[in-house]
């Protein structure tokens, strides 16, 4: 009988773990939707403010997408390490354009504010950052 008393709590713990999600991949917070095509700008000191186009796809627990800029710093760069936690979308992207920022790793972080995305960009190589504001693109 003691064997059953010990096994039941262990079994319940395993079932709870499986039910809450032990699979890999990005976890999306319930009710947080960042999907869409977004357009806006990032503020940069000492240079023009580049126009940013961000495409985000939420498919179940996965977040996919890409980022491009009009100044050519990013050219349809796939998002990496994309995650939504506590209502904040964050991802990394490596600049692939033929600019002075080529191969710089950037961290982006966004929150929904009304119908917009507001957040920050950080150039992890140079340790500089600035604000970003994006609006949903009209179809």
pLDDT at 10: 47
pLDDT at 58: 84
For residues 98 and 109, is the Cβ–Cβ distance under 8 A? no
For residues 109 and 89, is the Cβ–Cβ distance under 8 A? yes
Query: Domains in the chain, ordered, with CATH?
Result: 25-136 (2.40.128.120)
For the segment 76-86, the average pLDDT, to the nearest whole number, is 95
Query: Taking all residues of the chain, what is their mean pLDDT, rounded to a whole number?
Result: 80
Helices and strands (H and E) in the chain: how many: 1, 9
Cα separation of 94 and 79, whole Å?
9
For the segment 61-76, the average pLDDT, to the nearest whole number, is 92
For residues 48 and 41, is the Cβ–Cβ distance under 8 A? no
- pLDDT of 16-58, one tens digit each? 333 333 333 333 333 468 999 999 999 886 666 789 999 999 8
Cα separation of 87 and 112, whole Å?
8
């Amino acid at each position: 009988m003691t064997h059953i008393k010990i096994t039941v709590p262990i079994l319940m713990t395993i079932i709870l773990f499986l039910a809450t999600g032990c699979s890999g991949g990005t976890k999306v917070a319930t009710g947080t939707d960042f999907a869409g095509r977004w357009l806006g700008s990032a503020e940069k000191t000492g240079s023009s403010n580049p126009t940013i186009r961000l495409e985000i796809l939420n498919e179940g627990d996965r977040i996919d997408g890409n980022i491009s800029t009009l100044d050519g710093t990013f050219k349809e760069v796939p998002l990496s390490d994309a995650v939504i936690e506590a209502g904040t979308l964050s991802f990394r992207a490596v600049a692939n354009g033929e600019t002075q920022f080529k191969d710089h790793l950037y961290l982006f972080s966004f929150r929904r504010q009304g119908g917009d995305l507001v957040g920050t960009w950080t150039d992890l190589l140079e340790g500089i950052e600035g604000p970003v504001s994006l609006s949903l693109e009209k179809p």
